[in-house]
Amino acid sequence: MRGSDYAELKAFAAVVEHGNFARAAARLGISPSALSQTIRTLEERMGIRLLNRTTRSVAPSEAGERLISRLLPALADLEHAVADVSALRDQPAGLLRINAPRVAIVHRLAPLIAPFHAAFPEIVMDIIVDDKLSDIVADRFDAGIRLGEMVEKDMVTVKLGGEMRLVVVASPDYIARRGMPQTPRDLRDHACVVSRWPTDGSLYHWEFERGEERLEVAVSGPLSTTDNDLMLRAVLDGIGIGYLFEDHVAEHVIARRLVSMLDDWTPPFPGFHLYYPSRRQMPPPLRAFVDFIGLHC
């Protein structure tokens, strides 16, 4: 069915319901002459008269009676379908698929799940741990979470939490044995627990900044891995120095299981963002989550 077909049939039903072109036109928000032309177009296309007109009344013909008897239930079903979709918009339900790295899930997304579920109990969250920067469009995710600098420019982004920092940490045992680096350049002479980029497996060169000065240090040591939890465990065990998210190590620094160093070289940077493709009509579960983040982050 073409869009014009639906408009013509709806116009015909309105005329039958009101028995008058003027009242039907007012209901539809068009002029009586426009409505009359719509009915003529419908009759010409169908090749049969649907309405009998006099100067005082309008009534369906025999063909019009047969059509309206089938048409009214069909129009009612369409209106109910539209109402159901509107209800979903007002009370979102359905599946929300999100792709995110583990560290973002643990420190940014996980605390939001319970309150979001309480607010929108009909939305089912499907959260996939992914540190490889997968294509959320190709893999049919509604949204992803990444550091702001890693999000493609054509995506819509929503800030998820505050700024973040990477901090250089080591165990007191390691410092007692090897000493404490005084500048980032000193790290080249230390054993470091090195992270690999999960995207291509290359080693991450530690980045530092103080004022206008920026440094990139290619560190080395007895362990390299893509897993943040394994890096933390190795640093706690005194294997070497680590460069980890502050949120990940904060409790250990407070408990003095780890010592933070070179703090003046590690300023905060923009943290994680929820991102999704630009869409004129967002899926209701995603719309609800974006609005929820705006209120809680």
Tokens 């703090």 found at: 263
Strand, coil or helix: 100: strand
Q: How far apart are the first and last CA of the chain?
A: 45
Contact by Cβ (8 Å): 294, 102: no
Q: What is the pLDDT of residue 150?
A: 83
pLDDT for residue 88 is more than 60: no
pLDDT for residue 131 is more than 90: no
Cα 296 from Cα 117, distance rounded (Å): 14
Q: What tokens were used for 184?
A: 């980032």
Q: What is the mean pLDDT of residues 76-100?
A: 75
Cα 37 from Cα 53, distance rounded (Å): 14
Instruction: Give the pLDDT band of residue 23 (cuts 50, 70, 90).
Output: confident
Q: What is the pLDDT of residue 85?
A: 65
Task: Pick the most confident of 79-83, 252-256, 290-294.
Answer: 252-256
Q: What is the pLDDT of residue 87?
A: 56
Contact by Cβ (8 Å): 145, 98: yes
Tokens 């068009």 found at: 30
pLDDT for residue 234 is more than 80: yes
Closest CA to 139 of 187, 183, 99, 88: 99
The total number of residues written for the chain in this structure: 297
Question: What is the dihedral sign for C-alpha 275, 269, 226, 293?
Answer: negative
Chain segment 98-126, per-residue pLDDT in tens: 999 998 998 899 999 999 999 999 999 99
Name the CA radius of gyration of the chain, rounded. Answer: 32
Chain segment 69-78, per-residue pLDDT in tens: 998 888 877 7
Q: What is the pLDDT of residue 80?
A: 63
Q: What is the mean pLDDT of residues 242-257?
A: 95
Chain segment 207-225, per-residue pLDDT in tens: 999 999 999 999 999 999 9
Q: What is the pLDDT of residue 148?
A: 82
Tell me the C-alpha to C-alpha distance, in Å, between residue 99 and each of 121, 130, 145, 266: 20, 6, 6, 28
Q: What is the pLDDT of residue 116?
A: 96
Chain segment 197-208, per-residue pLDDT in tens: 887 889 999 999
